[in-house]
Chains A and B, each alone.
Chain A
């Protein structure tokens, strides 16, 4: 998987990464390239600088410094020599390259009417290495299984960045789509049709519409589509039995999750937050939790190569005193 990514990097950068010790390469999570400053890598939860000899060091002064030419070449290669076709990506601040790796960009923003129109003078890259981890969800699935409907519950996965949210979500999708239920009582449960809205092309890493990662045989992916609109489109057109989306948080996302809940389709979504309490601090998510749109909330923590989780059952605030008819009047 790393080979595909390294082929995309300029030769001197790729050979430097290749020269790293195998123990570092195995746990490699990020490669951070900043023009004129030492090359940094993130591995196994920590960070280090890469020296010109291809070893790691904690001392920034020993790091190899990429120059403007290297950055220009890196940018040219990750954009397939077509910066002009990447306006949407530059507005969002990242490019997804074949293999599902996401490359975050920073530089000088170009404004138009006060809104960010794009980026120029790009001088910092954060190459996040996407890894497919089969079986990551095997221990979690029994906790979020909907035994009455022989499917999964509506689940919100919360964690800070880099704790394995997308990895976990992808494996849940794969397992549900294959009917790969780990529980003994679920042997006869059918595989479910899964609709995935992959706004940032990270879950399935589609290349021309076809997923690179194994997201299961019964999965339909709407690639690079805004989440709220995408969830509605899938609901209308692809009759999903489970919906999945990455990093919800905007009010319109909440509206779409609500819509799916009314259609009886469980939604599995992730959100940036430290834990459940923290997630409640975000208006859109708090309202969803209060309305009972999510039957389970999973908090993730990375422990070395493993992902530890804790499942909470949020208590819907509105359900307690006056039961309304599904809360439909509210929205």
Chain B
């Protein structure tokens, strides 16, 4: 009886671990896409709205969901408090919030690099930088989608299979 309960426990947790890993792949794709949308809205605010950066960041982030939105809200809050330069404010916000996202290093460096240029040049230059970041993210998103298709399914079955193996060995 006790053995059966243990076996079920191992099976359930193994499956859950597999699903969780698979979800991380799906999350990464979704979050990169959100990040791209934020940048697109930011481009509109800067290019056509002439909105000051703190307000532009907030408006651009409004459409996104957590944890991506938080990075931009925090940056805007830091700018409003005064003191910080855009690059430092964005860097700090990324350091704080990045671990909660499923995104990886290439996306992170694209955002940080964008922070180095944001707000300190004329409109055309800003739009150029935003488009460059968007193009980088686009490439990452394609890769992420590939991985999701490939490893997502694998993890989902792998979790269950591994658990099953453990159970068989235990019995």
Q: How far is B121's CA from A120's CA once the two chains are assembled, in angstroms?
A: 8
Q: Which residue of A8, A76, A81, A83 has the most chain B CB atoms within 10 A of its CB atom?
A: A81
Q: Mark A77-114, 1 if CB is under 8 A from B, else 0.
A: 10111111101000000000000000000000000000
Contact assessment for B83 and A84 in the assembled complex, using a CB-CB cutoff below 8 Å? no
Bound CA–CA A80/B81 (angstroms): 11
The reply to whether the CB of A11 lies closer than 8 angstroms to some CB of chain B is yes
| CA A8 to CA B83, docked complex, whole Å | 8
Q: CB within 8 A of B121: which of A8, A11, A84?
A: A84
Task: Give A7 to B80 CA distance when docked, in angstroms.
Answer: 12
Given B46, B119, B125, which contacts A76 in the complex, CB threshold below 8 Å?
B119
Q: Please give the distance in Å from B114's CB to the nearest CB on chain A.
A: 13
Nearest CB in chain B: distance from A209 CB, A = 15
A75 to B79, CA, bound (A): 14
Selected contact of B122 from candidates A72, A73, A81, A83, CB within 8 Å: A83
Interface hits, B36-60 → A, CB 8 Å = 46, 50-54, 56
Bound complex: CA A71 to CA B69 (Å): 31
Partner of B86 from A76, A85, A118 at Cβ < 8 Å = A76
Task: Work out how many contacts link A and B, with CB atoms closer than 8 A.
Answer: 51
Residues of B within 8 A of A84 (CB): 46, 50, 119, 121-123, 125-126
Contact A85 B52 (CB under 8 A): yes
Query: What A residues does B50 contact at CB under 8 A?
Result: 82, 84-85
Q: B124 → chain A, closest Cβ, in Å?
A: 9
**Chain B residue contacts of A76, Cβ below 8 A:** 85-86, 119-120
Asked whether B53 lies within 8 Å of A81 as measured between CB atoms, the reply is: yes
| Distance, CA A82 to CA B119, complexed state (A) | 5
CB <8 Å contact, B123 and A87: yes
- B88 to chain A: closest residue by CB: A73
Residues of B near A81 (CB, < 8 A) are 52-54, 79, 85-86, 118-120
Give the Cβ gap from B118 to chain A, nearest Cβ, in Å: 8
How many Å lie between the Cα of A299 and that of B116 in the bound state?
50
Shortest Cβ-Cβ A-B pairs, 4 listed: A81-B119, A81-B53, A85-B50, A82-B52
Q: With both chains docked as a complex, state the minimum distance between the C-beta of B50 and any C-beta of chain A, in angstroms.
A: 4
Q: Which residue of A lies closest to B125 (CB)?
A: A84
Residues of B in contact, count (CB < 8 Å)? 20
Report B51-108 residues with CB < 8 Å from chain A CB: 51-54, 56, 79, 82-83, 85-86
Q: State A11–B50 Cα separation when bound (angstroms).
A: 28
B85 pairs with A118, CB closer than 8 A: no
Partner of A80, one of B54, B121, B125: B54
Residues of A within 8 A of B125 (CB): 84
* Min CB gap A109→B, angstroms: 13
Give bound CA distance, A153 to B125, whole Å.
50
List the A residue with the shortest CB-CB distance to B127.
Answer: A84
| CA A8 to CA B56, docked complex, whole Å | 20
Point out the residues of chain A lying under 8 angstroms from B119, CB to CB: 76, 79, 81-84
Given pairs A76-B85, A82-B119, 15 additional interface contacts (CB within 8 A): A8-B82, A76-B119, A76-B120, A80-B53, A80-B54, A81-B54, A81-B85, A82-B50, A83-B120, A83-B121, A84-B50, A84-B119, A85-B46, A85-B51, A87-B123
Return chain A residues, CB-CB under 8 Å to B53: 80-82
Cα A84 to Cα B45 in complex, Å, equals: 11
Q: From residue A224, how far is it (CB to closest CB) to chain B in Å? A: 13
Q: Chain A residues near B52: list those with CB within 8 A.
A: 80-82, 85
> Smallest distance from the beta carbon of A70 to chain B beta carbons, Å?
11
In chain B, positions 114-171 with a C-beta closer than 8 Å to chain A are 118-123, 125-126
Which residues of the partner chain A approach B46 to less than 8 Å between Cβ atoms? Answer: 84-85
Residues of B contacting A87 with CB < 8 Å?
122-123
Q: Can you report 5 residue pairs joining A to B where beta carbons are below 8 Å apart?
A: A76-B85, A76-B86, A82-B50, A83-B120, A84-B122
CB B41 to nearest CB in A, in angstroms, measures 15
A75 to B85, CA, bound (A): 10
Q: Which residue of A lies closest to B75 (CB)?
A: A81
The answer to whether A73 touches B85, judged by C-beta atoms less than 8 angstroms apart, is yes
